[in-house]
Structure 1
Amino acid sequence: MKTLSLVIGIAAALAATGASAQSINLTGIYMCVDMCRGSQLAHVTQNGPALNLLTEAGVPAQAWPDWFAPASRIWIDAFNQGAIYSPDGMVIQFDNGTIWHRGLPPLRRR
């Protein structure tokens, strides 16, 4: 009986986590502003909870909502690190200190 209760409890916890996961769409073009490893623009494409990243160094990676904070963090397994994103999705800050801001750089006037 205890085993059945435990299984039901775990299933309910997993269902609640999935329902509260990532309510914001992070799709966009980001500019690295701190601790950059390259000079290119970074790209994020989100399809449901899954994310495809292309870093400022041109390195592709996949990410998904972090198990422990799915509404505010993502986990990038290829980099063995996570990242927190702002509530409006305009800033992504990686655990190694790299910071991305959403939006294109200002156009240079000639």
Structure 2
Amino acid sequence: MKNVAIVLGLLGACVAGTASAQPSANLTGTYRCIQMCRDGMIGAPAFVTQNGDAVNLTTETGESLQAWPDWNAPNSRLWIDARDESAVYSPDGMRIQFDDGRVWQRDLPPPLIVRGAPVVYGR
């Protein structure tokens, strides 16, 4: 009976480990390549779409790649199997740095400025 409890505990740990293997930050968005860009495309847009633990990358050259949380560090690294390469991302998802030296910085839209709108205080 003791062995059954141990086996069930180990299975539960494996299931919990698998369920939590998704990036800790929301990486979905537009990025700009700012360092070591392919074909010298500094400033070119790159795109990330995250769906659970599956992450789709579109590089600054338009190449589409799939990535997953790296099993060594699922809360801070991605693994890109097609390139045999990993990438580390910042906790806030603002920066992704690849093993080959490329760096993507999140491209934030300019702040929205509303002119002529009344300012109401105390509400």
State if a TM-score over 0.5 links the two structures: yes
Instruction: Identify the residue that residue 73 of structure 1 maps to in structure 2.
Output: 77
Taking a change above 3 Å as real, the CA distance of residues 20 and 79 of structure 1, as seen in their structure-2 partners, is: closer
Once the two structures are TM-superposed, the CA of residue 29 in structure 1 deviates from its matched residue by 0.6
**d(CA) in 2 for partners of 1:36, 1:100:** 9
Aligned residue-pair number = 106
**d(CA) in 2 for partners of 1:90, 1:101:** 6
- Return the letter of the residue paired with 2:70: D
Instruction: Identify the residue that residue 16 of structure 2 maps to in structure 1.
Output: 15
RMSD: 2.6
Gaps in structure 1 of 5+ consecutive residues: none
Who wins on radius of gyration, i.e. which is larger? 2
- Within a 5 Å distance, the mapping from 1:10-49 to structure 2 comes to 12-13=13-14, 15-19=16-20, 21-38=22-39, 39=41, 40-49=44-53
**d(CA) in 2 for partners of 1:88, 1:37:** 25
**d(CA) in 2 for partners of 1:98, 1:6:** 44
- Return the letter of the residue paired with 1:67: W
Instruction: Identify the residue that residue 94 of structure 1 maps to in structure 2.
Output: 98
> Is structure 2 residue 60 aligned with structure 1 residue 56?
yes
Gaps in structure 2 of 5+ consecutive residues: 111-123
State percent identity of aligned pairs.
Answer: 53
Task: State TM-score, norm by structure 2.
Answer: 0.72
Moved over 6 A (4+): none
